[in-house]
Amino acid sequence: MFIAWSWIAGLLIGAAIGSFLNVVIYRTPRGISLSNPKNSFCPSCKHRLTTLDLFPLFSWLFLRGKCRHCGSKVSSRYFFVELITGSIWAGLWYQYLVVTWDPAKGIAYACAAAALVTIIFIDWELYIIPDQVNAWLLVFGLAYDGWLIATHKPGAWTWGMPSAIAGALVGIAALWGIAFLGRLVFRKDAMGHGDIKMARGIGAVLFPAAAGISFGLAVIMGAVFGIAQVFIFRSKEDEPEVVTGGEQGDLAVAEQREEEEYPPESIGSLLKSGIGYVLCFDIIGLFFPSFYKTWYGEDPYEPISEATGFEVERTMIPFGPYLALGAILAAVFEARLLGYVNTYIHWATRGATFLEQLNLRGRL
Ligand SMILES: [Zn+2]
């Protein structure tokens, strides 16, 4: 085991990874290759950036969020992605290299956390979750479980199948289930498909028990912050929108009509997508775009409309960031959270623990 203050190494490595994630966050949804152009450039003056501009955390602080060459503003997102990734990696470092010695889990969770940070910032800005990033989550989970199986470690198997696959199925069942119920009961699109694919990846990495806890955390955070967000934006929007007549009024009516005419996804299509996610057709489709198009009816590599032209409904609640945040919390505080849940269930059922019945004891 490493000494306690070695978590600083985790912070620095994480911040450097965060610097790379900034590139992924900017380029992936815009259809720009990660390797071409090889060097980062200022979006404003196109000046090639060097280490001086790109040094994690410090560059943004010392340059006060401005481009060194043209002086245009650099989004604080660059700094926060580095800080957040660094903090998570420091936490994982401390948890799996200092408190307990489980480097394999630490590496798997750190890779997954990097993918989840990427998802949080892309989804937050553009309301999409790229398939490629979701696919990476699944790859990390399967690789970790493959290693557990190969080295005969406890927790490798759940319900007679590899734990990563069991977790992936739990993830699809939970989120696709919400989407399906929402469609049946409220006749509305309750869940984005990106969220279902992300839950599959989270399940694969965290395995069923911790994944279940992470979904619970996501629902709680989504409910608390989501309701607060709707109230804050509604009270702000109410004031200027008293004008009902004239051009603005017509626009509002037209917008409302458009919303009403937008039909929810058909049950058949929802079922077809669900089967596709279980069989990982979306991931196969990343390598065979025509196959993807045949099954899902859209192009997997189609870049989204440019961010500036993208109108975001402010009362819309993206669930993706909460799902990702829940998974990150579950990864860092896994042992403690599983302990809490098990204690509660033990108390609630007076003895026979639910987790034991589910054959998840190896995870505790
Ligand atoms: Zn510049």
Q: How far is the CA of 48 from the centre of ligand 1 (A)?
A: 9
Q: How far is the CA of 64 from the centre of ligand 1 (A)?
A: 13
Q: Are residues 166 and 74 in the same domain?
A: no
Q: How far is the CA of 73 from the centre of ligand 1 (A)?
A: 8
CA–CA–CA angle 111, 116, 121 (5° rounding): 135
Q: Are residues 158 and 144 in the same domain?
A: yes
Q: Are residues 208 and 296 in the same domain?
A: yes
Q: How far is the CA of 364 from the centre of ligand 1 (A)?
A: 51
Q: How far is the CA of 11 from the centre of ligand 1 (A)?
A: 28
- Rounded to whole angstroms, the Cα distance separating 11 from 84 reads 9
Q: Quick one: pLDDT at residue 238?
A: 55
Asked if the structure places residue 361 within a domain, the reply is yes
Q: Quick one: pLDDT at residue 207?
A: 97
Asked if the structure places residue 110 within a domain, the reply is no
Q: Are residues 188 and 142 in the same domain?
A: yes
Q: Are residues 148 and 193 in the same domain?
A: yes
Q: How far is the CA of 71 from the centre of ligand 1 (A)?
A: 6
Q: Are residues 351 and 299 in the same domain?
A: no
Q: Are residues 167 and 30 in the same domain?
A: no
b vs e for 263-301, b when ≥16 Cβ sit within 10 Å of the residue's Cβ? Answer: eeeeeeebeebbebbeeebbbebbeeeeebeebbeeebe
Segments forming the whole domain that contains residue 62: 1-101
Q: How far is the CA of 27 from the centre of ligand 1 (A)?
A: 17
Asked if the structure places residue 145 within a domain, the reply is yes
Q: How far is the CA of 49 from the centre of ligand 1 (A)?
A: 9
CB under 8 Å to 99, separation ≥6 — which residues?
none
Q: Tell me if 67 sits within 8 A of 74, measured CB to CB.
A: yes
Q: How far is the CA of 146 from the centre of ligand 1 (A)?
A: 45
**Residue appearing with tokens 């759940």:** 158
Asked if the structure places residue 71 within a domain, the reply is yes
Q: Quick one: pLDDT at residue 307?
A: 47
Q: Quick one: pLDDT at residue 237?
A: 56
Q: How far is the CA of 26 from the centre of ligand 1 (A)?
A: 16
**Which residues are found with C-beta within 5 Å of the ion, ligand 1?**
42, 44-45, 67, 69-70
Q: Quick one: pLDDT at residue 202?
A: 98
Q: How far is the CA of 119 from the centre of ligand 1 (A)?
A: 26
Q: Are residues 3 and 149 in the same domain?
A: no
Q: How far is the CA of 60 from the centre of ligand 1 (A)?
A: 13
Q: How far is the CA of 284 from the centre of ligand 1 (A)?
A: 39
Q: Quick one: pLDDT at residue 302?
A: 73
Q: Quick one: pLDDT at residue 304?
A: 62
Neighbours of 70 (CB within 10 A): 11
Asked if the structure places residue 267 within a domain, the reply is yes
Number of separate domains in the chain: 3
Letter for the amino acid at 146? G
Asked if the structure places residue 120 within a domain, the reply is no
Q: How far is the CA of 122 from the centre of ligand 1 (A)?
A: 23
CB under 8 Å to 226, separation ≥6 — which residues?
317, 322
Q: Are residues 312 and 340 in the same domain?
A: no
Which residues of the chain, if any, have pLDDT below 70?
235-262, 303-317, 351-364
Domain boundary among 52, 85, 101: 101
Q: Please state the pTM of the whole predicted model.
A: 0.85
Q: How far is the CA of 124 from the centre of ligand 1 (A)?
A: 25
Pairing of strands 157-158, 161-162: antiparallel
Q: Are residues 152 and 175 in the same domain?
A: yes
Q: Are residues 207 and 354 in the same domain?
A: no
Asked if the structure places residue 119 within a domain, the reply is no
Asked if the structure places residue 138 within a domain, the reply is yes
Q: Are residues 339 and 306 in the same domain?
A: no
